[in-house]
Chain A
Amino acid sequence: MTLAVGVADHVIDALVAIVGPERVRTDAGARTARSRVPAPFPVHRWREHVPDVVVLPRTTEEVSAILQLAHRERVPVVARAGGTGLTDGAVPERGGILLDMKGFDAIYEIDPVRRTATVGVGLNMLKLNERLEPYGLFYPDDPASYPTSLIGGRIGTSGWSLIGARYGHTRDLVLSFVCVLADGTVVRIGDGGGPKLSKSSTGLSLKHLFMGHQGTLGIATEATLKLYPKPEAELSLFWGFSSYEEAHACVDALAGAGVATFAGAVLFDEAKVAYLRRDDEAYIPQPASVRAVVCTALYGWEDEVREGGRRLWRIAEAHHGRYLGDEISEGDWASRHDRYATPLHGRLLDGSVVPMSWHCEDAALNHPEIPAVTRAWHEIVADLRRRHDAFDDWGTFAYTSADTGVDYLVEIDVGIWEQVLDEEVWAAWVDAKRRIAEVAVAANGSISACHGACRAGDVDVVPTELGAAFEVMERIEEALDPHGILNPGKYRFRKADRAQEGGTDGLSLP
């Protein structure tokens, strides 16, 4: 297969001069392999998302030189870390240069005195934790892609962690990071000026701004992380419920119990249990009376974990939860760290099996709104299935986002038979996603607690959710990237317009 390269030869030559010929790839294989992520993808229009050239930098200086070149030549740049995102932040919308950041996989420093690690953004959390083991420390950023996602992607999407109720999420765990701006300027972004501070009141708080922007404001290269003592003990408990209402009440009671070692709780709705009962070895043998499931996990010293666990157990029992046993509690919890390993097949309306890819549409919601929102989501997916027998409803989860249960990451998992995608089916799917997002926003929620809201369909609803704040974001983005080169197309920022017009004056940077 050959693909035309849309970047001028002199730009390719300049890239080769920066990183060397081995790390500049224009072949179709290298480019095609870096064009999609697990997020819903219009496979029938794959060619539109193939970058023109893949570059594999290894130093901040190289990234700076590449962005100076792109800024000068008005060439789009998209950064890609693990490529595991469930939104399409790493999917090029306008071709250009794709920066594959996996070469930044070094551990620069482990500081056991301050309990920090400074690492390249191409490092994986699992690999970092293996290196931290001799120090008795660990880095508790724990997405469902824990073995495969990379720290740079966690910054770019402002990741959510399964055990965030105990340890915080990516934005809490990344203390500071080195970021290259659109014009090649290198800055350290953190709380104040010191690289190893968790709280400062100096100046404006830029750290949250530069996390979760999906590569539209800058490209992180190096991060300093907050480490914790590795817990002595883990306890996970799974209970079955004969009614969704009791399970829904229980998950909030667990989250609000004030148990210090509480790391999170998860509510499985009836559709999720029905899905698992047909395909998951842990749930297939469960009796029909198990219609909803709640699980929780605790981390800490064994004595405090045991006491906290007894308290949570009594709460679950008071809500008529029935303990499902050690095997499912331990095994299923361990599998939560790696959901990308699940067998990806789904069912057509007649029950027959087809290969399906997994899509997870997520929202941030408060507890009282979860039942009505998830019911509406199921109706939307059922309507979609009636019109196009290429989708499967894999149920919903609701995960605590914080230690008090103030809000939840609520997701509906949908199987997609990508082989039959065409323009009509894709349009129906995007419309369903838009409706899913609208339901969440109407419930005073947010389109995404975890993945990002720049996916097709979702992104249409972002201005509705954010109101006047979206205009503020556009102004900030325009000031930092006046020529619109960083991931143009994402979030519908006016980047593409600016690139065609030759840019704006933007922000004067040193």
Chain B
Amino acid sequence: MGFRYRDELELAEATRISEVVIARGEHAFEVDPALMVEHVTQQPMPRWDTQRIARARSDYLAWMHRHFARRVVAGSTLIDHNGEQRSITIEHHTDTGVEGV
């Protein structure tokens, strides 16, 4: 492990997100520790390790994309300049009944 600043070693502040999830820092979620006391227990994780795992996950997903295509088109770039897609009439047959002969 290389040099770490003090705040990287501290456990990040917990914020409750839902009845079963807390967050420690931006977009770093954890199962509510109260639900992990008997069969599976949690261990304190320093901020730098959480960040390392998040970055590694991001790198992994980008690496996976590269196996399937040369580039990824972001969906947001399909949105028209006014921020919305034009609606079209759905042309396909939506009746799920099957006619007999």
Question: A285 near B: Cβ within 8 Å?
Answer: yes
Chain A contributes a number of interface residues (CB within 8 A of B) equal to 59
Query: In the complex, how many residues of chain B place their beta carbon closer than 8 angstroms to a beta carbon of chain A?
Result: 42
CA–CA, A253 and B91, complex, Å: 9
Q: Report if B65 contacts A (CB, 8 A).
A: yes
**Residue ID in chain B nearest A326 by CB atoms:** B74
- Chain B residues with Cβ below 8 Å from A253 are 90, 92, 94
- A129 partner residues in chain B, CB cutoff 8 A: 67
- A62: CB under 8 A from chain B? no
Q: CA–CA, A352 to B42, complex, Å?
A: 13
Which chain A residues border B71 with CB–CB below 8 Å?
232-234, 302
Contact indicator B20/A330 (Cβ below 8 Å): no
**A507 beta carbon closer than 8 Å to chain B:** no
A359 at the interface (CB under 8 A from B): no
Rounded to whole Å, the gap between the CB of B34 and the closest CB of chain A is 9
A 236-261 binary contact with B (CB < 8 Å = 1; else 0): 11000000000001001100110000
A367-B96 in contact (CB<8A): yes
> What distance in Å separates the Cβ of A402 from its nearest Cβ neighbour in chain B?
15
B29 proximity list for chain A (CB < 8 A): 281, 284
A337 / chain B contacts, CB cutoff of 8 Å: 64, 67-68
Judge if A314 is at the interface, Cβ distance under 8 Å.
yes
Is the CB–CB distance between B78 and A309 below 8 Å?
yes
Please determine whether A314 and B40 come into contact, CB atoms closer than 8 angstroms.
no
| Chain A residues whose C-beta falls within 8 Å of the C-beta of B67 in the assembled complex | 126, 129-130, 138, 146, 337
B residues in contact with A73, CB < 8 Å = none
Q: Does A277 contact B (CB under 8 A)?
A: yes
Q: Which of A318, A330, A334, A355 is most buried by chain B, counting CB atoms within 10 A of its CB?
A: A334
List residues of chain A with CB within 8 A of the CB of B28: 281
Asked if B100 CB lies within 8 Å of chain A CBs, one says no
Residues 258-298 (chain A) with a chain B CB within 8 angstroms: 277-279, 281, 284-285
CA distance A10 to B68 in the complex (A): 49
Contacts of A256 in B (CB 8 A): 92-93
In chain B, what residue has the closest Cβ to A299?
A: B69
With A309-B78, A315-B88, A334-B61 as contacts: A230 and B69 at CB distance below 8 Å: yes
Q: Is A334 a contact partner of B73 (Cβ separation < 8 A)?
A: no
Which A residues between 43 and 82 are near B, CB-CB below 8 angstroms? none
**C-alpha gap A204/B61 in the complex (Å):** 43
A331 CA / B90 CA spacing, docked (Å): 29
Contacts A317-B85, A354-B40 known; A278 to B70 CB distance under 8 Å? Answer: no
Do residues B85 and A310 form an inter-chain contact, with CB atoms below 8 A? yes
Q: With A and B bound together, what is the CA distance between A256 and B64 in angstroms?
A: 28
CB pair A138–B88 under 8 Å, yes or no, is: no
A256 to B28, CA, bound (A): 38
Name the residue on B nearest A309 (C-beta): B78
Chain B residues lying within 8 Å of A146, measured Cβ to Cβ, are 67
- The yes or no answer to A90 lying at the interface (CB within 8 A) is no
Q: CA separation between A370 and B64, bound complex, in Å? A: 30
Q: Is B101 an interface residue (CB 8 A)?
A: no
Please, which residues of chain B bring their CB within 8 A of the CB of A130? 67
The answer to whether B18 and A306 have CB atoms under 8 Å apart is no
- Extra inter-chain contacts (9) besides given A309-B75, A353-B40, CB under 8 Å: A232-B70, A237-B75, A285-B27, A306-B78, A315-B88, A326-B75, A330-B65, A337-B68, A353-B35
- Name B residues whose Cβ lies closer than 8 Å to a Cβ of A: 17-18, 20-21, 27-29, 31, 35-40, 58, 61-62, 64-65, 67-79, 85-90, 92-94, 96
A-side residues, CB < 8 A to B, are 126, 129-130, 138, 140, 142, 146, 163, 230-237, 249, 252-253, 256-257, 277-279, 281, 284-285, 299, 302, 305-306, 309-311, 313-315, 317-319, 323, 325-326, 329-331, 334-335, 337-338, 345, 347, 351-355, 367-368
CB-CB nearest 8 A-B residue pairs: A234-B69, A334-B61, A368-B96, A235-B73, A354-B39, A231-B69, A334-B64, A314-B88
23 contacts between A and B (CB under 8 A): A126-B67, A138-B68, A230-B70, A249-B94, A252-B92, A256-B92, A256-B93, A278-B31, A284-B21, A284-B29, A285-B17, A299-B68, A305-B73, A309-B75, A313-B75, A317-B87, A323-B79, A326-B75, A331-B58, A331-B61, A337-B67, A345-B31, A353-B36
